[in-house]
Amino acid sequence: MQRFRFVFPLFLLLTACADYVVTLNNMTISEPKPLYQPLEILDENLRGCVSETIRSNLVTGVGDLEMLSCSYAGITNLAGIQQFTQLSHIKLDHNNLVGIEPLLFLENLRLVDITGNSEVACRDIAELKKLIGKDLLISDTCSRQ
C-alpha cells in the first residue's frame, strides 16, 4: 500500500503535464509529442493560418488536422493543402483565391466554404461540387477561365 502513495501522485503528475517535459533526477520521464511541421505551403497567409491551427489544436501528425478555418486571411494559393488528407471541413471564404485545384485531392472533404472568391474558375467549382455535393458554399460569381 505504501507504493501507491508514491505511484498514484506520480501518475497524476504525468497525466496532468502532458504538454510539458517531466524529469526526475535529470532523466526525462515524459515529454509531449512535437507539433506537426507543415511541408511546402507556398502561400504565406495559408502557411500562417495552418501553423496557428496546428498550435492551437496541438496537431502532432498530418492526419490529425480535420478542420481548418482561414476566412479573410488574404490567401491566394492553396498549393500544399493537399498534404492534410483528413481535412473534412475547410473555410476559405473571403480570400483572394484564384485556383482551388488542391482541394480536389482531399477525398474526406464534407464541407467547403469558398464564398467571396469570385476569381475561382467555374470549371473547378463544378469539379469540387461533384466531390462535395450540397455542402459546398460558393459565391454567385466565378471566373470563366
How do residues 7-40 score in pLDDT, each as one tens digit?
A: 566 555 555 555 666 766 677 676 668 878 888 9
* Interval 107-112 mean pLDDT: 94
Residue range of the domain that includes 64 = 44-137
Residues 25 and 57 reside in one and the same domain:
no
SS (H, E, C) the chain: CHHHHHHHHHHHHHHHCCCCCEEECCEEEECCCCCCCCCCCCCHHHHHHHHHHHHHHCCCCHHHCCEEECCCCCCCCCCCHHHCCCCCEEECCCCCCCCCHHHHHCCCCCEEECCCCCCCEHHHHHHHHHHHCCCEECCCCCECC
Per-residue confidence (pLDDT) for residue 10, from 0 to 100: 57
Residues 72 and 10 reside in one and the same domain:
no
Assess contact for 94 and 71: CB atoms under 8 A.
yes
Per-residue confidence (pLDDT) for residue 134, from 0 to 100: 79
In terms of pLDDT, which residue wins out, 50 or 139?
Answer: 50
pLDDT at 121 over 80: yes
Place of cell 497524476: 12
Q: Nearest CA to 53 among 31, 131, 21, 41?
A: 41
Instruction: Determine which of 32-41, 60-69, 73-82, 94-103 has the lowest per-residue pLDDT on average.
Output: 32-41
**39 falls within a domain:** no
Give how far the C-alpha of residue 32 lies from the chain's centroid of Cα atoms, to the nearest Å. 19
Per-residue confidence (pLDDT) for residue 77, from 0 to 100: 96
Cβ atoms within 10 A of the Cβ of 15, count? Answer: 9
Q: Nearest CA to 20 among 8, 29, 11?
A: 29
Residues 48 and 28 reside in one and the same domain:
no
Structurally, the chain folds into a number of domains equal to 2
* Interval 130-135 mean pLDDT: 84
Residues 9 and 76 reside in one and the same domain:
no
* Interval 75-97 mean pLDDT: 96
- Mean pLDDT score across all residues of the chain: 85
Residues 95 and 50 reside in one and the same domain:
yes
Q: Nearest CA to 61 among 31, 38, 30?
A: 38
Residues 50 and 27 reside in one and the same domain:
no
Q: What is the pTM of this model?
A: 0.76
